[in-house]
């Protein structure tokens, strides 16, 4: 597949809504601790409207405010090979963040700062800092995650079905619009080498992913590999794969 080249106005961080990255900063809250996350690093990225290339890779549905009440996804923690200690990425599911100033999200970060991949589950209510859970996560683990909205209140639940743990956090943000939902991978530090990230059972508002008009994103970072979403299968499943 040939990589699509799209021209866009620069700089990305001026005149474009900023959204939270995985950000990885070791923010703390009661009942959660910073694990192997990046310390004191905050790396917002620009939302590109409907452009095909993005720091995100996956599928986004964008509608009017208060359109989304739930976003759910399952994935298997992919085997990652670190090339640089600056690399860190995460699959996540969330509400908001597309041309918005807030994101309500949860997922699992893979951090290469030690030279080897280290996985950590987290949630984030951007622009507040992300919070990392101390629960163990390993390559090959089956993860399920849901973000739900009720008015200004958001509940972020993530479970490691392989390890047998679940974390649920509820927070409020009166500025959040609930105007988009996404199941994506993201890498502010650049992507490690991945064979595939496999998303299954992706639903927004309890409906299959392909019920929505979707923005399809392939990754656009300085990593040497571009990751592209496959076509959706069974209405709810897709993989993020290296561009060939």
183-222 pLDDT per residue, tens: 999 998 889 999 999 999 999 999 999 999 999 999 876 6
Residues 6+ apart with CB under 8 A from 71: 93, 94, 95, 146, 147, 148, 181, 182, 183, 203, 204
Write down the pLDDT at residue 26.
Answer: 36
Classify 162 in phi/psi space as left (phi over 0), alpha (psi -120 to 50) or beta.
Answer: alpha
d(CA 206, CA 203): 5
Write down the pLDDT at residue 20.
Answer: 41
**87: which 2 tokens?**
């690399």
Which class does domain 18-242 fall in? mainly beta
The predicted model scores a pTM of 0.82
- Domain residue extents for the chain: 18-242
Closest C-alpha to 94, from 133, 34, 141, 149:
149
pLDDT beyond 60 at 99: yes
């Amino acid at each position: 597949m040939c990589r699509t080249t799209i021209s866009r106005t620069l700089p990305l961080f001026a005149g474009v809504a900023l959204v939270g990255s995985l950000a990885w900063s070791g923010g703390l809250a009661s009942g959660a601790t910073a694990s192997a996350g990046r310390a004191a690093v905050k790396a917002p990225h620009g939302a590109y409207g409907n452009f095909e290339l993005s720091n995100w890779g996956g599928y986004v549905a964008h509608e009017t405010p208060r359109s989304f009440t739930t976003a759910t996804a399952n994935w298997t923690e992919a085997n990652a090979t670190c090339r640089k200690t600056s690399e860190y990425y995460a699959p996540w599911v969330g509400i908001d963040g597309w041309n918005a100033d807030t994101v309500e999200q949860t997922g699992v970060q893979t951090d290469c700062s030690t030279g080897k991949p280290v996985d950590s589950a987290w949630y984030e209510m951007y622009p507040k800092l992300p919070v990392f859970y101390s629960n163990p996560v390993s390559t090959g683990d089956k993860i399920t995650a849901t973000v739900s909205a009720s008015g200004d209140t958001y509940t972020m639940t993530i479970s490691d079905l392989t390890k047998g743990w679940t974390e649920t956090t509820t927070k409020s943000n009166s500025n959040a619009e609930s105007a988009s939902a996404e199941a994506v991978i993201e890498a502010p530090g650049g992507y490690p080498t991945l064979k595939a990230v496999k998303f299954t059972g992706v639903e927004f508002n309890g409906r299959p992913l392909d019920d929505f008009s979707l923005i399809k994103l392939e990754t656009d970072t300085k990593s040497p590999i571009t990751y592209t979403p496959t076509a959706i299968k069974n209405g709810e499943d897709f993989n993020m794969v290296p561009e060939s």
